Structure formats: structure tokens, C-alpha cells
Structure 1
Amino acid sequence: MGSSNFELIYTVHGDGNIPVTKYRSKKTGLSVFIAQVEGPLVNGYFCLATEAHDDDGLPHTLEHLIFLGSEDYPYKGVLDLLANRCLASGTNAWTDTDHTCYTMTTAGSEGFLNLLPIYLDHILYPTLTESGYVTEVHHINEEGEDAGVVYCEMQGRENSGESRCHLAMIRALYPGHCGYKSETGGVMKNLRESTSHKKVCNYHGGFYRPENLHLVITGQVESEAVFNAIQSIEEKITSKGSRGNFDRPWQSPVPPFTDVLEEIVPYPADEEKSGMVYVAWRGPVAKDQYSVTAVSVMLDYFRESPISPLQKAFVEIEDPYCSQVEGSIIENAVICTYFMFKNVVKEKLRHIHPKLIEEIRTTWEGSLDMERMNSIIHRKILECLNGVEDQPHDTIAFNVIGDVLYGDNKDDLEGRVNNITRYRKMKTEPEAYWKNIIQTNFIDKPHVVIIGEPSQSLMESMGKEEKDRVARQREELGEEGLEEKGDTLENAMEENEKEAPESLLTCVDVPDVSKIHFHPIFPTSNLDKASANKNNKFPLSNIPFRFQLDDLSTNFVQMNALLDSSAVSPELKFYLPLFCEVLFESPMMKNRELISHEEVIKMLQADTLFTSAGLGLNGGLFGCGSYAQIVHIAIKVEQEKYERGVEILKDILFNTKFTPERLKIVGQKMNNEVASSKRKGMKIVRTVMAEMLYDKDNNNKVNSMLRQEKFLTDLLNRIETNPEQVVEAMESLRQTLISPSNMRIHMTANVGSLANEMTAPQSPWLQFLDSASGNAPSDVVKQPFECILPLDKVTIRHAIVGIGSVETKFFLRASPCISSFYHEDLPAVHLFLQYVSQFEGALWKNIRGAGLAYHYEVYVKPETGMMYFLLSKSTHVAKAYKEGGDIMMGYVKGDSEFSDVEIDSAKSSLIFEIIEEEKTVGDVAAESMVSYFRGVDHDYNKKMLEKVSKVTVADLKRVGEQYIAPLFDSSVSRTVVCCNPSKIGEVVQEFKELDVDLTILESLETDFLIG
């Protein structure tokens, strides 16, 4: 049988010259796309077009139920446990408005091909049991509360300001009978009252058919091997007989939209300082990819940098309207184009729309900056090339999925995977073309305006209404009814957790890791004099500061300036976040001439692929990356601009000029961002935990959104009264950071290609510093675990805080653990945590599977010397914590036995996760950069693979008592819980019964958080 069933439809070559070939089965109509992507991973994206015309969430609920067993594998969890054995880390999926996509990623093709037919059996022939529906979608527990994994997920997002406004926008823009207006995730009321097991089963019959299933496979895998792997599924499909006619989804005309509509959407919030505004238009049809791309370019022209028209009008002014203007496209059959104005000053909410229309018209009537337009398009081209290098699997798959939904032929697919061709043509378009894009897509078309207003009263009334609703539900059910609900849930869980026979769990072999292809890298550094000149094309010994070089296969050069802030005084450290935000947006002194910040930004857009600055490796605003004491400044350029890139980095570090005007505008922008950050439960628990963990001068505390809000408010006042003092502080900070003793550069490039273009590619760095004087480069930076506060210095170790914008609960706990990456127990600790937390492991079944929390995580971070237990979007947080403790301590105490089959599964999935750290060239370079701070060899991950494979049951038992037990000992751990204020009392009581005494933080302005 094999390939004879599949006919080659066509082959196209996408960006980066990656071939994409489409096949279709002559017997079943199943489509297969294969893209030959280099690297160690093989990815599968199994896509079905799905359409719904209500808010029952049938596409989403079905997505969840697919994983609970199939005809040939009728046990919950078998798919993910087998995936783990195949060098994957479980499976995953997403539901969008117009499609559902199931994914898997394996290290190497062997495991992928073994798992493929099993996965397809689950997609096409799931068990869809009533018991699975109860636990996974919605149920009422014995306490009369609503729960279920899907319910929990939607509860976590349904009433956020962003979700409410976005849904209102889509509903207004797509009126009439149209699937685009549906909430395909499901709304809570429907999940409680309307959605049903029968509806889900019927939905599967209508959409989950081979003619509607498209397998998008990216990686090093042969087409013939794929066809052989799915031969059994092909035979099963044909054996089932006729399926009747199939109508392709999304073929009905989209109802017209003709009026300008404005709607005010209130949302629950603790503060009423700022809201949000969405303005949306219907755009070109999805098949017209050239016009869709042109609209995308125009969105960037309007808002993507501080010198764009909308940023200049709304943000980059003394009295800003908002903190940010975002623009985006939703690709429906007729696309949605929208602007989102974030953190809009409440008094200006109603001024956004008229001013936006005025600015669009002014831009259209005036002269467009065609030089800047050319830079935007050129950067788009670079982003495409970077995408196929750093995110090749997703980049190609997302293009193919668009074709699956809205394409009809080879030309459509070729157009979607060849974005660079479109952009190159756009570079030749005249100003008149772009003005026409503005006129036809923004000026001449009706639009929707959604004004999101924060409301404390709504927060209070919704909290009361939900309490009253649950109370009525309890009353209506009565004791007998509640007991019955509890029994139903217990029976469903028992039914779901029936043990699969071991023969089924071992029906696929664990693949051979030695066959996996890794990206090669040749690292050198002048830290080690013996190896400084090992790369003879780029010797490092004469560079007068610490320099780390990665030579690998890439089309770009990335330069990372890593500045140690340990020597910065405590007073100046609070300026660090502002320094990072303003650095690339400031004027510059060049050849004794002051260049305006607008010209600097324009230059950066023209000459770089991206620029970034943050605290810690890849840190961002109000969130540090790892090794937070490092100020990480990065630029990426195309190889042809390497020397220009070095010049730019030097100018940015040494020649920028801090001015009161720019410091004020950027400081206001940062301060305005705090409002939206304070509405996010996960950000809150991480912020509070940082206060418990780190000493006062650590950048994790400095970068706290709460401390920064207080600091920036004061700074903005000082800029008005004493601007010279603020500028002087910023300049003093810079001088400390750029001292040779605090600086190192980490560069990623294809050295062979550089050497072909210039005789001595190291030469631009020899003059990088104006003076080589200064202390010798510091070999070792202070490790994060050295900054952890001793327990007796922490005034509050277990805290709870109420946030009106969250309906679910968030939890984070930390306890002391291993603080060395070379500790002999680390592989066993990693495996213990993987064992309990793996897909379909004990935590998965009893926390997520029982509907107690949508997401959980337990992990160790040797750099901080801490272990963490995280629960996100939890409906019953104390129960979830207790369940996690009972499970882990069961293995620690020996009450639960480790299973050999699940140990193999955990080892394989952990090995995959380690390999995944180096899945692309960019990932390899990032791992190389962090290795210097960790003090580990560049082959650390490969050696860890060997160590993990050798861990025994005895090792797991040994490490449990020493490292896992402290996580559930309140005398040595630290805890943060965030929930709705109306839930604080009951949550405090529930944790008290578990020997966790939570201190209630009355507000986010308490001395503990900002003092």
C-alpha cells in the first residue's frame, strides 16, 4: 500500500528555500504537507477547519476530550505517556475561531513515526466518554461549586478587560449569522447550562473527518516513512464505509458590515485610573495575500515605533493618552484589522476614537515618509529570514494552516510561504499605492469602536452575584443533590483513571538518542587564554575586554552587551529599568553633532533586525530574566552590516544623550504600563514572591512593578523640579555599567562567512573601548542564590493578596534546593519532578484532570537554589496544593511506588525537553550565552542526557526526603496566593487547615511590597 495511496499534489519552495510538498490520499482525502526543516526536532500540526455558531465552546471542549482515549487505545493518558516514550513531552492543541490544531514534537523522526498513527486514532476515533466530559469540561462538585478543566480555563480569562473588549469588537464587526462572532472557547454560562456531551459527540461527527484533516509535518522525515506509518489508519478509515458528503467549513459569504458602531464595555477592576480602546475595520479577503500583507505593513507604519504617527500623537507626548498603541490582523475569510490603545487615561477614553480618525486622515492627506516605509519593509524581509532560522517549524506551519483554511491551489500556497517575494515587490510600490491602502482600508470603510471602562462597582457586584449564584445552586441541590454531584465526579474520575495494561504502555520502543541531529557550534572566549585563538579566523586574545564568540550556521550577527550592575549603588539601581527602556530611544552625539531621537530610531529601523534591553538574560519591563544583575543589551543585524552593527552598539552604549524630555516621556509610558500588569494574577504572585526571596538591592526587587510605580511617580516630579539631577544620575549609572570591569560581549555569527568578506573580522572590536584602562574583566558574576534572603530576615513568608480583575486563583511556593548545576543529585531531582508532573502523570491526573487548576508546574532553578510549585487559573487552590503535596510526599515517604514504565516515560520526556533547549540555531546560541554564567561546559546538556538516563529508583527515593519534602514544610518555604478579594476569607481558612498561615496583604501599596 504505502505511498501508492498518496498522490503528490505539488511542491513549493518557501522563504529560506525550504521545500514544502503537499500530498493527498486517493482513498480517504487525508492531506499531508511535509517541510524539510533542519535540526533535531520533528513537529506535527494536525489541523481541522472547525466552525461554530454559538458560545457553547464545542470546538474547544472537543479539543480537550480528544486526548482521553481512542477506539484502539481506550484509556485516558495513554497518548501522552506513549508520546513521552517517543522522546516528546506529551502532546498539545489549540482552538482558534476557524480551526483546531493538534500538535506533537519529538526529538528525531523515529518516535514521531511511532506515535503518528496512535495520535490520529485519537483524533478520528476518540472514545468521547461521559465521564471524560464531566471532569474535563464541566461539573459541580460536592460543595456546589462549578469546575472542570475547560470551565477553569475560561473562568481565568472570560471577564478580563481584554477578553471582554475583544469579543465585543468581533461580535460587532461580524454581524448576522457568522461563525467569527462566536466564543469558540465557550462562555461560562453556556458551559454550565447549554453545552452537553451529546452536542460534543455530534460536533465531532460533523467536522473530524479525513477530508478535513491536514497533517503538516516539519523536520527531517521522509514522505515514504510517513505514508507507511499511517497505513493502518488509512485502512481503518476505509473499513468504516461511507461517510456521506462533506461540506468544507467557512464557505458561506461573510455578512456585510455597513455602519460605524461604538460600544462601551465595562470590566471588573480594582482601580479606575485607566482603560482600553479597540478600533477595528474589516479588511481585504484572506485569499488576497498581497493586500493583506500591505495592510500589515501599513499597521507598522502607523504604530510600530516611537516615531510612527500614532505613537507620536498618543504616547510620545508630555501628556500622553495611553502607554501603548498596538495593531494587529485577525485572518478570517475577510480579515479584521484593529488598533488597541492600552492603559488609556480614563478621562481620555472617549477622545481616542476621534483623534485616531484625525491622525489617519492627516497621514493620508500629507506626504508619507517613503524612506521609513522602505526600512519597515526591509525589516519585514529580515524577520522572514530570521523566522525560518529561529522559528522554522511554527513559521512554515502557520503559513500552511492559512492555506488549508483559505487557499485553493498551488499559487495560494506558494504565495503564503514566500513572504519575502511579496515584500520585495512592495519595495517598488509608489507612495500612491500606500495612500490607496489607507483610503480603501481605513478611511472609506465603516469601523467598530470599543471603549473598555474599568469598574470597581462591577467588580464588587460580579463577586457578589457569583457568590449568590453558587449559594442558590447549593440550596437547590440540597444535601442529597450535593452528595450525588460528588459521587458523579468521583465515579467519573474512577472511570477515567482505569489503568491501561502495561503491554499498551510499552507498545512503542524508546528511540535511540544517538541518531538525533544537533546544530553544530564552535564557541571560543578570551576568558581562557589557551582557547582564545582557537578560531583562527576570529582570534580573541587582543580584544581588551571579556569576549565570547559562537561560530555557527546563521545569516545574521547578534551582539549582546552583558553589563554587570553589581557595582551600581543602591540608589542608582532604581534607574536601571528606565535606562533599559530609554537607551534605544534617546538622542545621540555623533562627530560632535547631536542627532535627534527620531533620527536615531529611524537609523535603528533601517540598519538592524531588532534591538532590546532588559534586566537579566532576555528580561523585560517589570520582569527580570535569569541572572538579573546583568543588563542585557542586544542588537541583531544582517551579516552585510556587521561592522555597522558594532558601530551602532558602541554609539548606543557610549554616545546616547539622556535628556529630560525623553526621560519624562519614557518614564510616563512605563508608569502607565503598571495598571495592566497589576491586573494579572501571575505577575502579582511572582512580584510578591520576589519580595520574599531577594535581598533589598537585587534587581528582581528593583524591577518590581510596584516599586517602580512609586519610583517613577517620584522621578516624574523631580524631572519637573530638578531635571539636571535626574540626567546626572542616569549618566552616572551608565559610566558604572560601561566600565571594562563590568562589560562582556557575547557574539553569534557565521565566522567563515564573515572572514570571506573581511580579512580580520575581530578588528572592529579592538577599538570598541576608547580606552583600555580600567580593572580587569570580572571572571565570575555574583550568583542569584547568593542574593536569597535568609528565612529569618523575611518579615512575611506566606501571603495572600486580592485582585478584583481575577476570577480564578494563582499560587506560588518556593523552598531551598540545589544551587549547583553540577550537583550529583540534580539529574535525579529533575527526574523526580518530571515523573510526578509529566503529561498524564500523578499531578496531571489529580490537579488538572480533576479540574482543580488549569496549569501547574513544579521545577528547580539551581541559579537561585530554589524549588518552585506553581498553580495557575485554579478554581480550588487549597485543594490543588494539598493534592500536589499528598502525591509528592507519597513518593517521598514510600507510600506510593515508582512505576518502571512511567520512569521510562519520564526519562524520555525529560530528555526531549533538554534537547528542545537547542532546537534552533538561536536556541543553541542562547544556551551558550547562559552557560558562561552557570559555569558549565558547552556540552552540558548532552552530558545531562546521559546522567538522566542512568538515574535509578534508589536515586529518586534518596533525593525525595532531602529536596522535595521542604516544599511542603511551611517552616522553610515561602508562599504567595492571589485571588479575587471576595474569596480571600475562605482561601485563608482552607490553607489554615493545611498548616499554612497566610498573611492578608490589604493592598499592593503595603510597606512590605514598596517600603
Structure 2
Amino acid sequence: MMEQLRVLTAERIRAFHKEMYQPKNLCLIIVGEVDHTDLLSVLDKFEDTILDVIPSPNAPFQRPWVESTPTPPLQASVIDTVEFPEEDESFGEIEIRFLGPDCNDRVQSAALNVALLYLAGSSAALLENVLVEKEHVATAVYYMTDERPRTEIRFTLTSVATESLHDVERRFFEVLRGAMQEQIDMKYMRECIQRHRRNWKFATENSASSFADYVVNSFLFGDKNGSRLLDVATLQEYEELESWHDNQWRGFIKQYMADAPHISVLGVPSAKLAAKLKADEEARIEERKRQLGKKGLKELADKLSKAKAENDKPIPREILAKIQVPDTDSIHFVHTTTAKSGHALKGGRPNNKVQQLIDLDGMDSPMFIHFENINSNFVQFSLVISTQGVPVELLPLLSVYTETFFSLPIDRNGERVSFEQVIVDLERDTVGYTMDGSPGNSEMLAITFQVELEKYETAISYLKELTWNSIFDPERLIAVTTRLFSDVPDAKRSGSGMVGGVRYMVQYAPESIVRARSTLVRAKYLKRISKLLAKDPESVVQRMELIRKALFQPENLRILVIGDLERLPNPVSSWKPYIEGLDMSKPLLPLVKQSERLSDAGKAPGQLTYIVPMPTIDTSHVNASANGLNCYDHPKLPALMVAIAYMNAVEGPLWVAVRGTGLAYGASFRHNVETCLIHFNIYRSPNGFKAFEAAKKIVDDHLSGVAVLDPMMSLEGAISTIVAGFANEQATYILSAQESYIRQVIRNLPPDYKEALLKKVRAVTIDQLKESLREMVFPVFTPGSSDIVVTCEYRVLEERIKTGFESLGFKPEVQPLKYFEDDYGLQLDDEEEDEDEDDEDGGLDSDTGSDEDEE
């Protein structure tokens, strides 16, 4: 890629843009509330300005993919081995691709989606069940489809033992072809058809992109008259699939997957390649310097400076002034109606029709239930759980508990039901189900179901079974723990993820479940749990029972229900069976604040600067964090929001100073009221320190007056960004309902909080913006005020970045990822434990990066 980029010319790029970026090859998709007359007027004016710079509208044009030479079909299967740089050589990856049916054939496309669901849609599905759950040769079998004239089918097998890559690829096809020699489970296949139809209907209600994606694919590959768009008017293809018999399904799967030519790529980790790439790059740079000499280098530097100056010319103010910024009052936010039951009424009883319906069904309910009424064919409910009662030493085991919650055998009326049957039952009666962090508070857990309205009581009964009747079968615990632990090396390969991972370890207290469930805890803790399961499985079962008992105390539980409450049967009384036998007399525990789960370093940043070398990346990532504001009604919050929105703007100060100069792919500020921290993140930088230094300078220039703040340019754009952010947070009815719950229950804010905040945002002045930059943003760059975590390439960048931060007064400490791992006190009576861990990690800096979610 880099070699090709080095010979790519600006002229070639311009020619491509001129050829491809023209109305004949453009589809404009707008999803949302639109003034059609105004939109068409704007488009007409825009088109008038480009007619003299685009190819003639009447000139012939060959549609890419559709009218160009088609990709020839595969004649034979190919297995290729590709090395990737990685010090830890224990696990690789397999990717298998096929060419599927014509993407414009709606029945064949639907059949493909259903067949993939049947083969790998869950732990009970064929490939997942055999390869992951039973044989443990991979941690997951993912599938994807990519729209092409012939749909591309992709399977990915993750965290496969390197020495077994060829065997596992072969086993994939043995399992697939073997299953096609036997009869299809038609009962399960029909359930997959119904499930996919439900999921599609749910997606169209709850994602603005569902129809947009369909339009994109129709434009790219369908008839120019748009006839393919009519396919979404009905769901007739699923009715046709329900008439398919066993031979049709087996024939379809054989044609496009089991017996089809394919390409398999085996990704092999290589420490030798990691070293070679670094050495080759160093040699290339030195050879280039030698070829150019001092004179050539100076000429290129001058050429680069001129190009930067040209690129950094500000957009003329009069051009931007022509763009009308709509009044924020013209944006209509999605609103939902709140109702409450039980302990939730202590926050006040809403006065509306929906509340009256709730009162009729459950005046005496002791449960805390918060309802949000929306127009929907589905209902989503979450059991929100406080984790305060879980002993600290057991918190890392929550990773296993949440992962196994839906995939354990259960005791149903005295009979043991296998975990596969549990999953099949859940898939038959639900749209989706998860157990993960709670909306609005990452220090709580939430068990969430999405179901059709008539399945509300059924889902609650499943929840009760899963809560109390699941069986902590050691075999299942071993399978899940093995899978989670095998995912760790892959997770530790991400530079951006490990910036977050290290930050969690140093800025969060051991009591935090964000920290306890993070990759750098799993790396050590799950290894020891795996050994404990082999030696003494009953002790792990006892730990899981303790977690269950600690979590599901009534004082820990709150319920959020989102749905059409006028059509939902028994919205309150359906919960009575769930609480039978529970002591509901204790008061609810207060919600824990995320700021309370910070470490001393997280509460008072300014003492830590860590540089973490990683052999799996060739760039660097940075997180710097300093103290921010600690409440949502703080008088300085509006100005801080505007300051951050201004700095983060596309083509704004950070963009020009960092991305525009090639110092990083991305850079942005973020403020988290829950943790009282302001973060500055740099993503994929060739030198994280230089990007940090450039960002520091641009903030300083705004404070010193070198960079002038234009009221129109600075404030209007920033305010529009904030409004757009608010709108995106409640883009659908379910998102709006969740926001309402978070606002009222988690944050204890009034219903009109955002509208009131927007008025304050509109009133922010330039002086207030600069004051916010000075008091809260600039400390992110200041030694003694900011904690910094850097992940970087470990041969060249490590020393450069360390020296750079030292020059600013920071005291960087270079440490491998292993330094930050934590076992939460879980020690085994095994004298070889530490030695084994060191050996298996592959030496020095094999600790590498992962995708940790920001809190």
C-alpha cells in the first residue's frame, strides 16, 4: 500500500475524481425530517455551479461493476498463508471467502442470510457449536456479506492456534460438508427464517441506516430505474423460503459454500516479520536520505512547506457566510412519554394517559419500573443491576458470568435443558438479548431483551429462569473461559484499544467493573481461572454462585421498559412471577457514581506519563486526561461544550494543525461529566509527541491571540455541532427513550434539561470560550495537570516520543503491557505459574493492544 501511495500523483487523483464524482454516478440519500421545497432549491443552485467543471451530462458513462468487465468466477479453491507482524506467535486467524448469488435476486439474497444464520448465527448453530463450543479450535466463527454484483460471503475464525491453522481450515469444510450429507433441521431452519424476518422489521424501526443501505446497494448494482427499491415494500421472499424443502436448502448451501470454489487466507503471526519490517523501514529512510543528500532534503522540505501553506489557506469568510445555519429551534427532537411504577414513583408521578394505564395494572408493585412509551411493534426491557455487593476479588469473574448468562444449561421443572436448547428457545421467541454495561452508567450491568409485544411475559419468564435456574456446568465454564482468554492476544494487538486499556488500569480503582472486565485484567486473571477449572472446578462454581447471589438482591434492581404501553399486555403485573420469594422490603441502593470508582490517580491526574511500546503497530496513539467539570448543571459546562466542539470541528483548529499536516489520522477532545475528566486523544500518528505538541500550540495560539476567534465561524459551527450531537443521541424512538431514562434516573435531571442547556450554549461568548480553553482544555497539555498514556511502535518511536515529552517537563516511564496486568489477588499453589506465564507471552514487549470501549 505505502509503495503504491508513494508513486500516486495528484494528477491521477484529480482525474479519478473528475471521472467518478459527477451526477450520473451520484446518489443523494437523506433520512429524516426534510423541507422538500428548500432541499430542491439548494440542489438546483448547487448544480448550476458545477456544470462547467464536470463532464457533460450527455456524455456516455460506464457504470462501475454493472457495465464494466465483471469479476471472473473462481475456477478453483485457493489456500494462502499471509504473515502479519506480532511478537506473540500463539494465535492466528482464518478468513474464508465465497462468491454468492446475484445481489439483485431478493429470494436468493434472503436465502443466503437465513442460511448463514442457520450455520453460524449463534452458539447453537452448526459451525459455532462444533468449532467453538465443543472443539474449542477458535473463539468465534463470524460471518459477513458484502454487496457486489455477486454477493461476497466471508467467514472469519478468530484466535486459532497458529500450529493448527491448516487443520482448522480443513475442519471447517469437514463440518460444513458433513452436515450437508445429512438432513437439514427444518424446524430450526424455519425458526431462522422467522427470526431473520423479525430482526429486519426491528432494524427498520430502530436504525436510520437500514433503508439507506438498501438504497445504496440498489444504486450501485440494481437497475437504473430503481425497481429494486420496491422489494422492501413487502416481506414476500420469506414466505417463499418457508416453502423450501430439505433438498433446496442443502443444494443452495452446497452451491454457494460447501462445494463452491473459495479463497482461504491463513493469518500467521510472525515476530521475525515484525523485526524485518522495522529494519527495512529504517534502511529505506537512510537510503532515501543518502540519495537526496542535504540539498535534496532541503528542496523537498521547501516544497512541503509551500504545499502546507497552500493547503492551510483559510476558506474565505464570504463563502462560509453564504451557508445558512438553520435555527436550532427548527430541529425537532424525538420525545417519548414517561410512566413509573413501584419505587420509581418516589421521583414523582407523571400526569399523563400512559401513567393511568400503568396505575391500573400495578398500583401496589414494589419493583422500581421506569416506562417509556413509544410507537413500536416491539418492546425492549432491561434489568439494570448494581454491582456494589460483588466482592472486589470476584469482579474480574463478571466477564465469565456475563458471557455465560444466556448459554448455560438450566433446570426447567426438574429437568436439565441443554445450553443449545436454551439458545434455540431464546432465538425462537426474541429479537435480541444481551448482558453488558448499563445505559448511562458503565459501573452497572443490564440484561436486555427485545421481543414482540405478545412475547413480553415469555421473555420475563426466560429472565427468571436464567437468573436463578442456570446450572454452572464446569464444562461450559471451561469453554467460555478458554474462548475469552484466547481472545486476549488479539485484543492486545490494537494500539488505540490498549491506550484505553492502560488508562483503565491506572485511573480506575479495583472496585470498578470497567477496570475489572478489561483486557489487561483478563490477561492474567482468566489464565488462572482456567487452571483452577482444571484442578478444582467446584471452587469456580462456588464463586459464580456468590456472584449470582450478590447481583440479584432486590435492592440492586431497577427495570426499564420501552414500548407501546397502550398495546402492551400487563406491563407491571407481568413482573410478579419474577419477584416471587424475594424480600422486597429493603430500600434500593443509591446509584454508584462513576467518579467514585476512580483511583487516586484518576481523581487527581497529573502524576503519570506512560509510554507502552508495542510490536504490532507502526504508529502511535495518545490519551491525555485532566480534571474537568463534575456536574451537569455546572455554570461553565456550556462554554466547555462550545470550546470542545469548536476545537474538534471538521477543518477546524485541530484538523488543520494535526490531521491537515499529516501528524495524525485523528485528534479530538472529549469531556466526561461522569468521571469529571477531559480527554485528548490522538489516533494513528507517525509520532504521537509531535501531534501532541502541534495540538498544544494551536490551543496556546488561541489563548495568546495569534489565532483569532471569529464569532460567526467559531460559535455558529460549534453550536450546530452540539445540536447535531444531541439529535444523534436520540435519532430513533428507542434511543430517545433510553436518553429519557438516563436523564431522569441515572443523572436526576429535569425532562427539559437539553432544551435549557441549548439556550445556555447559544449564549456563550468568545470570552467565555477562551476562558474555558485556558482553565480546562489547556491543562491537558500541562505537566502536573495531565496523565498521559502512549502506545507506539517499539523500535524507533519509543525513544523519540519519550524524549519529546521529557522536553515539555513530563516524566515518562516506559513499560510493557504486562506491567499493568492485575490478577486481583487470585493466586494458585503452583510454583511454575509466573515462569509459565512469561514463557507463553513470548518475551519482552509481546504485550500489545486491544479495543477497549471508552467509558
Partner of 1:965, secondary structure, is: helix
Partner of 1:429, secondary structure, is: coil
Offset, 1:229 = 2.2
**Hey, what's the Cα distance between the residues in 1 that align with 2:772 and 2:34?**
39
Unaligned segments of structure 2, at least 5 residues: 826-855
The reply on whether 1:993 has 2:798 as its aligned counterpart is no
1:275-314 counterparts in 2 under 5 A? 275-314=92-131
Partner of 1:841: 652
Quick one: which of 304, 320, 325 aligns to 1:510? 325
Distance 1:321 1:796, change over 3 A: farther
1:621-700 counterparts in 2 under 5 A? 627-700=441-514
Distance 1:273 1:763, change over 3 A: same
**Hey, what's the Cα distance between the residues in 1 that align with 2:715 and 2:47?**
33
Paired residues of 2:623 and 2:682 also in contact (CA < 8 A)? yes
Distance 1:882 1:995, change over 3 A: same
1:72-151 counterparts in 2 under 5 A? none
Partner of 2:533: 719
Distance 1:793 1:823, change over 3 A: closer
Deviates more, 1:467-476 or 1:973-982: 467-476
Distance 1:443 1:985, change over 3 A: same
Partner of 1:543: 365
1:480-491 counterparts in 2 under 5 A? 480-491=295-306
**Hey, what's the Cα distance between the residues in 1 that align with 2:824 and 2:685?**
27
Partner of 2:391: 569
**Hey, what's the Cα distance between the residues in 2 that align with 1:414 and 1:896?**
50
1:509-528 counterparts in 2 under 5 A? 509-525=324-340, 526-528=343-345
Q: Render the CA deviation track for 1:321-363: whole Å, top value 9, x for unaligned.
A: 1111111222222222121111101121111122111111111
Quick one: which of 566, 579, 583 aligns to 1:773? 583
The reply on whether 1:615 has 2:437 as its aligned counterpart is yes
Partner of 1:830: 641
Q: Render the CA deviation track for 1:649-682: whole Å, top value 9, x for unaligned.
A: 2222222221111111111111111111111111
Partner of 2:175: 359
Partner of 2:715: 903
Partner of 1:249: 64
Offset, 1:638 = 1.0
Letter in 2 for 1:432: N
Paired residues of 1:914 and 1:945 also in contact (CA < 8 A)? no
Paired residues of 2:607 and 2:784 also in contact (CA < 8 A)? no
Distance 1:211 1:894, change over 3 A: closer
Offset, 1:955 = 1.8
The reply on whether 1:704 has 2:518 as its aligned counterpart is yes
Offset, 1:640 = 1.9
Offset, 1:377 = 1.8
Distance 1:492 1:280, change over 3 A: same
Distance 1:202 1:677, change over 3 A: same
Quick one: which of 203, 209, 219 aligns to 2:22? 209
Q: Render the CA deviation track for 1:471-521: whole Å, top value 9, x for unaligned.
A: 222222222222222222221222122233332221133212223222221
Distance 1:519 1:424, change over 3 A: farther
Partner of 1:528, secondary structure, is: helix
Unaligned segments of structure 1, at least 5 residues: 1-186, 618-625
Quick one: which of 198, 209, 213 aligns to 1:382? 198
Partner of 2:599, secondary structure, is: coil
Offset, 1:972 = 2.4
**Hey, what's the Cα distance between the residues in 2 that align with 1:645 and 1:715?**
32
Letter in 1 for 2:790: V
The reply on whether 1:590 has 2:405 as its aligned counterpart is no
Offset, 1:217 = 2.4
Percent identity among equivalent residues? 26
Partner of 1:745: 559
Distance 1:213 1:957, change over 3 A: closer
Paired residues of 2:474 and 2:541 also in contact (CA < 8 A)? yes
Paired residues of 1:265 and 1:453 also in contact (CA < 8 A)? yes
Distance 1:649 1:410, change over 3 A: farther
Q: Render the CA deviation track for 1:436-460: whole Å, top value 9, x for unaligned.
A: 1112112332121211100001001
Quick one: which of 744, 765, 786 aligns to 1:973? 786
**Hey, what's the Cα distance between the residues in 1 that align with 2:433 and 2:10?**
50
Quick one: which of 274, 297, 300 aligns to 1:459? 274
Offset, 1:416 = 4.7
**Hey, what's the Cα distance between the residues in 2 that align with 1:660 and 1:353?**
28
Q: Render the CA deviation track for 1:8-28: whole Å, top value 9, x for unaligned.
A: xxxxxxxxxxxxxxxxxxxxx
Offset, 1:771 = 2.8
Letter in 2 for 1:676: D
The reply on whether 1:875 has 2:689 as its aligned counterpart is no
Deviates more, 1:277-286 or 1:798-807: 277-286
**Hey, what's the Cα distance between the residues in 1 that align with 2:751 and 2:581?**
32
**Hey, what's the Cα distance between the residues in 2 that align with 1:387 and 1:793?**
43
Offset, 1:1007 = 5.9
Distance 1:248 1:532, change over 3 A: closer
Paired residues of 1:743 and 1:777 also in contact (CA < 8 A)? no
**Hey, what's the Cα distance between the residues in 1 that align with 2:140 and 2:211?**
30
Paired residues of 1:830 and 1:859 also in contact (CA < 8 A)? no
**Hey, what's the Cα distance between the residues in 2 that align with 1:979 and 1:419?**
51
Letter in 1 for 2:356: N
TM-score w.r.t. the length of structure 1 is 0.77
The reply on whether 1:798 has 2:609 as its aligned counterpart is yes
Quick one: which of 654, 664, 668 aligns to 1:857? 668
Deviates more, 1:769-778 or 1:571-580: 769-778
Offset, 1:819 = 1.2
Partner of 1:568, secondary structure, is: coil
Deviates more, 1:833-842 or 1:940-949: 940-949
Q: Render the CA deviation track for 1:825-852: whole Å, top value 9, x for unaligned.
A: 1111111111111111110111111111
Q: How many residues align?
A: 810
Letter in 2 for 1:944: L
The reply on whether 1:438 has 2:253 as its aligned counterpart is yes
Distance 1:1003 1:518, change over 3 A: closer
Offset, 1:1002 = 3.2
**Hey, what's the Cα distance between the residues in 2 that align with 1:704 and 1:557?**
31
Partner of 2:762: 949
**Hey, what's the Cα distance between the residues in 1 that align with 2:17 and 2:723?**
34
Partner of 2:615, secondary structure, is: coil
**Hey, what's the Cα distance between the residues in 2 that align with 1:597 and 1:1002?**
39
Q: Render the CA deviation track for 1:379-418: whole Å, top value 9, x for unaligned.
A: 21122112221112x1111111111111116674235535
Distance 1:879 1:827, change over 3 A: same
Paired residues of 2:607 and 2:786 also in contact (CA < 8 A)? no
